[in-house]
């Protein structure tokens, strides 16, 4: 034991001083980029962690000072560049949750920079000078797009659905089909959301078949609402039955019960839903008679993270007055981005171009194929033994939308004789900005569908030097 502790004493004495690290070229450069204080803090952390490690391990020796300097520079850089920063999505998954779901329209970013540099009108009425409500402009845009009675918007669809259930049915019963008691991902589970809202869940029917009479039989004086949930990333196929929204709405009217429809993805209009290969549309659900429809703003809608509840004015007013509304309210940056995104929908002729999510979804196969061929050619021409070729494959919408429907695309498939697909993918992620690709059959796949303008250049650069 004595020899182990004296060995670690010796190793500890070999740990360089902070100043020695700071004099290394890597940290000199880092200081000029990120500031002296940030670099000193990072260097101290790296050295402290090293000492901790050496204390627990008698035989180990500290690495070269230059290696420690690079570690400290990387840490200072990561901190200074921030956690949430630019990345390149070459996966072909349009709504990639790990990469921030919808790509924001340029107009949204421009408007945030233009309008929110100082004070802004957020909760004040300019005519009266009185206190107003922050989501009125977004709600008004949504009313115009959908032609619905009323709308309100909160932090995300999980919040919108929870708020709707709490405001309409807390302490009372909500009837829902067993076939719709799903988990969407990211921990959104219908039974748990219902429980947290304070409403009592009354399950009816079976996993594969639920009939209108099942709902009708479950109605009691305690019933406050009928709930329908779009199963999103889950399908029951084969011997199945579920009443449509129109039938539920008719039953609701007969018993004076609202129908709450969590539609999830939110293709707003039927023509878009058609293009999206039959994702349900918010407007179609309202037209079928749903009293409140809740949906995400950062899925097919293509805006920032938020969640709408749209429909009957008296119900929307109940949501606005509920204490959870205050807890779920949106920040001004997000509200502005949302307003700018919704404004793009008013120009029906151009929204397919100005909303990036819609643009990527509709991007013609011929255009994607041309990018894939050209990129493969350039990568082959680089002198790095990279085997690159274009091939047919499919893109995905992602985020629980269109689960089983693939969108035809053309990818670049990459293989290297000495590096595994995992190693190539790791190299792409280590690039600045990090590039995310798909791995399939020992190949790295680059799908141009989700690349933004000019990003092919970064991929070429990232793969230009492979030993």
Q: Which residues bind ligand PLP (CB under 6 A)?
A: 156-158, 184, 186, 188, 229-230, 232, 262, 264-265, 296, 307, 400
Nearer to ligand PLP, 31 or 157 (CB): 157
Strand partners, 151: 310
Nearer to ligand PLP, 68 or 301 (CB): 301
Least gap, CB of 230 to ligand PLP (angstroms) = 5
Residue 25 buriedness (CB in 10 A; 0-12 / 13-18 / 19+): exposed
Nearer to ligand PLP, 183 or 455 (CB): 183
Least gap, CB of 328 to ligand PLP (angstroms) = 11
Contact between 420 and 426 under an 8 Å Cβ cutoff? The reply is no
H helices within 96-239, ranges in order?
106-115, 136-146, 157-169, 190-197, 212-218
Nearer to ligand PLP, 8 or 265 (CB): 265
**Which position's Cβ is nearest ligand PLP?**
264
Q: Which residue has the tokens 């008691």?
A: 181
Least gap, CB of 156 to ligand PLP (angstroms) = 3
Nearer to ligand PLP, 91 or 232 (CB): 232
Nearer to ligand PLP, 71 or 180 (CB): 180
Least gap, CB of 12 to ligand PLP (angstroms) = 49
Least gap, CB of 231 to ligand PLP (angstroms) = 7
Least gap, CB of 115 to ligand PLP (angstroms) = 25
Least gap, CB of 169 to ligand PLP (angstroms) = 17
Least gap, CB of 186 to ligand PLP (angstroms) = 6
According to DSSP, residue 448 is labeled G
Nearer to ligand PLP, 272 or 444 (CB): 272
Nearer to ligand PLP, 26 or 162 (CB): 162
Cα-based distances in Å from 6 to 11, 15, 50, 259: 9, 15, 17, 74
Of 68, 52, 54, 75, nearest to 20 (Cα)? 68
Alpha-carbon span 319 to 313, nearest angstrom: 10
Alpha-carbon span 139 to 263, nearest angstrom: 18
Nearer to ligand PLP, 162 or 445 (CB): 162
Q: Which residues contact 433 (CB under 8 A, 6 or more apart)?
A: 85, 86, 87, 88, 458
Of 153, 133, 170, 196, nearest to 311 (Cα)? 153
Strand partners, 443: 440
Q: Which residues contact 23 (CB under 8 A, 6 or more apart)?
A: none
- DSSP assignment of 93-112, as one string? BSSBGGGTBSPPPHHHHHHH
Alpha-carbon span 407 to 394, nearest angstrom: 5
Least gap, CB of 263 to ligand PLP (angstroms) = 7
Least gap, CB of 172 to ligand PLP (angstroms) = 21
Q: Which two tokens stand for residue 240?
A: 């199945």
Alpha-carbon span 301 to 282, nearest angstrom: 11
Nearer to ligand PLP, 152 or 156 (CB): 156
């Amino acid at each position: 034991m004595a020899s182990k502790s004296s060995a670690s004493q010796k190793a500890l004495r070999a740990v360089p001083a902070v100043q020695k690290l700071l004099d290394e070229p890597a940290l000199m450069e880092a200081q000029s980029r990120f500031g002296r204080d940030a670099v000193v803090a990072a260097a101290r952390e790296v050295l402290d962690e090293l000492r901790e490690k050496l204390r627990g391990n008698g035989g180990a020796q500290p690495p070269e000072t230059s290696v420690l300097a690079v570690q400290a520079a990387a840490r200072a850089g990561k901190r200074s560049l921030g956690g949430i920063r630019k990345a390149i999505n070459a996966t072909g998954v349009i709504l990639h949750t790990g990469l921030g779901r919808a790509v924001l329209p340029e107009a949204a970013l421009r408007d945030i920079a233009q309008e929110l540099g100082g004070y802004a009108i957020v909760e004040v009425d300019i005519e009266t000078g009185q206190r107003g409500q922050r989501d009125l402009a977004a709600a008004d845009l949504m009313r115009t797009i959908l032609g619905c009675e009323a709308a309100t918007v909160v932090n995300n669809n999980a919040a919108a659905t929870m708020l709707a259930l709490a405001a309409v049915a807390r302490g009372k019963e909500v009837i829902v089909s067993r076939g719709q008691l799903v988990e969407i991902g990211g921990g959104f589970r219908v039974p748990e959301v219902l429980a947290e809202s304070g409403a009592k869940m009354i399950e009816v029917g079976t996993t594969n078949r639920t009939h209108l009479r099942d709902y009708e039989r479950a109605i009691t004086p305690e019933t406050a609402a009928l709930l329908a949930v779009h199963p999103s990333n889950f399908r029951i196929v084969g011997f199945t039955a579920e009443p449509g929204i129109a039938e539920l709405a008719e039953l609701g009217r007969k018993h004076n019960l609202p129908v709450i429809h969590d539609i999830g993805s939110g293709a707003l209009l039927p023509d878009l839903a058609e293009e999206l290969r039959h994702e349900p549309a918010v407007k179609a659900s309202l037209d079928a008679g749903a009293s409140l429809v809740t949906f995400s703003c950062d899925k097919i809608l293509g805006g920032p993270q938020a969640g709408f509840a749209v429909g009957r004015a008296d119900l929307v007013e109940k949501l606005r007055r509920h204490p959870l509304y205050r807890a779920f309210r949106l920040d001004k940056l997000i509200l502005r981005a949302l307003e700018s995104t919704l404004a793009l929908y008013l120009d029906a002729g151009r929204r397919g171009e100005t909303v990036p999510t819609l643009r990527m979804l509709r991007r013609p196969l011929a255009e994607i194929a041309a990018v894939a061929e050209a990129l493969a050619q350039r990568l082959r021409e680089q002198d790095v033994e990279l085997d690159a070729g274009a091939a047919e494959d499919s893109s995905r919408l992602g985020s629980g939308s269109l689960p089983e429907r693939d969108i035809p695309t053309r990818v670049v498939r990459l293989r290297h004789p000495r590096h595994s697909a995992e190693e190539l993918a790791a190299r792409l992620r280590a690039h600045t900005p990090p590039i995310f690709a798909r791995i399939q059959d020992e190949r790295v796949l680059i799908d141009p569908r989700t690349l933004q303008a000019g990003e092919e250049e970064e991929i070429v650069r990232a793969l230009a030097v492979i030993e």
